[in-house]
Amino acid sequence: MLGTGAHSKVWKAEINGKVYAIKTFLYQSTQDPDFMLIPIDDDIEYQYDDESPLKPNSRRITQATMDSLHLHATSFYNECRVFGRLKELGREHLGVKAYGYLQFDLSDEKVQRHFLPFGNGAREHLALKGNKEPSDEDVIRHFMEHDDLSKPMMGIVKEWVDSIDGADAWESSDPELIKRYIRHMPRLLRNLKELHKSGIVVRDVKGLQYLDGQLVDFSFAWTIPHIFGPESGVRPPWTFESIAAWDLQCFQYMLDDLDRKAELAVPRLKKHNLTAWPKDDIYDRLRPRPQLYGPFLPMLVHDDDQIHEMLRRPPFDPAKFNWRAVQKSTKKGASATGRVTKTKAPSKKTAKRSVKSKRKDEQDEMVRQQD
């Protein structure tokens, strides 16, 4: 076993003489949708703290929506939908390659024998808790975090990335590793924008998700069509555009982190010249522009309580991806395309019209109040 994350465990395995990485998903993460979007979902009761299942709320989250979220917002399906989209578009280079999924019957003794050698720590832990002679099933339940052995454990077979750095390379201060990451960043930024053009938002962009210049984790990613897309009306129509902006903001945090490491390296390293998302204070140094008067929409995030304003729009809105055109073209055998055009900045005329319209609305409101 290589490691454990929030949703999964990762294993190095050999199949027919070839080495792969197999990602197995924790049972709870395949059952409970992770759909919180801060700040618009601050008032929804989220029940991970007491490990009880999420419950639909008739006012905000209906049972029908919850049923869709199980397919659109759980870790296993999140990854499957991303890899399926990239395969149908011929863009599998945008992430680590996936070869398919597996189902493990953990109630089968033959399957258990493959995992039990890694569960000695779980056996000792159960003994300390009072279970002096835990059965193999007890060990599997505890170690694999899979309560119901009658339900299959899901897994995805991925390309093995033979990286000498390991998953902790991003935290390293080794100058050679820093230079390597700086060389990777232009391509990784292009790939992130290509994911947005493909109708995909990552939602969890950080250095630890990349291995040797490849994005390897899509367990938080959402793909159009989605229950939170503009067609459903469950969430605002700008939801995916806002999340795409947050993806770019998080990538900018990665760039800033590399800048700091390059500055502290001995000898000092040459910095990159990339900008994924302009810093907010840049607008304070520019002459006033009508389109910057606000108010601004928030960036919708899942792991940050601070409110981040979307002061500008991302280059591509993933929600505009034409997934119907892709389905039609693939059925006919043609090359798949669902091109998302670049978002245009508001023109001066458009900005002036919006300002005039806003002023007129304010004047009309004042007249109504006087009446």
Ligand-binding annotation for 356, yes or no, is no
- 55-101 pLDDT per residue, tens: 555 456 788 899 999 999 999 999 999 999 999 999 999 999 999 99
Give exposure, 315-328, as e/b (b: 16+ Cβ within 10 Å).
bbbbbbbebeebee
pLDDT recorded at residue 195: 99
pLDDT-derived band at 363 (thresholds 50, 70, 90) equals: low
Mean pLDDT of the region 187-193: 98
> Is residue 357 domain-resident?
no
Mean pLDDT of the region 214-227: 96
Mean pLDDT of the region 176-189: 94
Mean pLDDT of the region 231-260: 96
Q: Which domain holds residue 312?
A: 3-105+152-320
pLDDT-derived band at 49 (thresholds 50, 70, 90) equals: very low
CATH code: domain of residue 75: 1.10.510
Asked whether the predicted pLDDT for residue 194 surpasses 90, the reply is yes
- Can you say whether residue 51 is alpha, beta or left, with left for phi > 0 and alpha for psi between -120 and 50 degrees? left
Share of the chain above pLDDT 70, in %: 80
pLDDT-derived band at 309 (thresholds 50, 70, 90) equals: very high
Bridging pattern class, strands 210-211 and 200-201: unpaired
pLDDT recorded at residue 15: 93
> Is residue 39 domain-resident?
yes
- Residue 61 pairs in a beta bridge with 57
> Is residue 158 domain-resident?
yes
Q: What is the mean pLDDT of the chain?
A: 86
Q: pTM of the prediction?
A: 0.85
Residue with more model confidence, 4 or 318:
318
pLDDT recorded at residue 352: 57
Burial of 348 (0-12, 13-18, 19+ CB in 10 A): exposed
Residue with more model confidence, 257 or 364:
257
pLDDT-derived band at 282 (thresholds 50, 70, 90) equals: low
Bridging pattern class, strands 8-15 and 200-201: unpaired
Phi first, then psi: what are they for 19, rounded to 5°?
A: -90, 135
Q: In the block, which residue shows the tokens 């033959």?
A: 110
CA angle 331, 333, 338 (to 5 degrees): 70
The widest CA-to-CA distance across the chain, in whole angstroms, is: 83
How far apart, in whole angstroms, are the C-alpha atoms of residue 145 and residue 140? 8
> Is residue 370 domain-resident?
no
pLDDT-derived band at 131 (thresholds 50, 70, 90) equals: confident
- 165-176 pLDDT per residue, tens: 555 778 888 999
pLDDT recorded at residue 308: 92
> Which H, E and C letters describe the chain, residue by residue?
CCEECCCEEEEEEEECCEEEEEEEECHHHHHCCCCCCECCCCCCCCCCCCCCCCCCECCCECHHHHHHHHHHCCHHHHHHHHHHHHHHHCCHHHCCCEEEEEEECCCCHHHHHHHHHHCHHHHHHHHHCCCCCCCHHHHHHHHCCCCCCCCCEEEEEEECCCCCCCCCHHHCCCHHHHHHHHHHHHHHHHHHHHHHHCCEECCCCCHHHEECCEECCCCCCEECCCCCCCCCCCCCCCHHHHHHHHHHHHHHHHHHHHHHHHHHCCCCCCCCCCCCCCCHHHHHHCCCCHHHCCCCCECCECCCCCCCECCCCCCCCHHHCCHHHHHHHHHHCCCCCCCCCCCCCCCHHHHHHHHHHHHHHHHHHHHHHHC
Most confident of 17-21, 300-304, 307-311: 17-21
Mean pLDDT of the region 187-197: 98
> Is residue 316 domain-resident?
yes
> Is residue 269 domain-resident?
yes
pLDDT recorded at residue 50: 46
Burial of 140 (0-12, 13-18, 19+ CB in 10 A): buried
pLDDT recorded at residue 63: 86
Burial of 13 (0-12, 13-18, 19+ CB in 10 A): middle
Asked whether the predicted pLDDT for residue 294 surpasses 80, the reply is no
Q: How many domains does the chain have?
A: 1
> Is residue 247 domain-resident?
yes
The candidate with the shortest Cα–Cα distance to 36, out of 303, 256, 345, is: 303
> Is residue 123 domain-resident?
no
pLDDT recorded at residue 291: 61
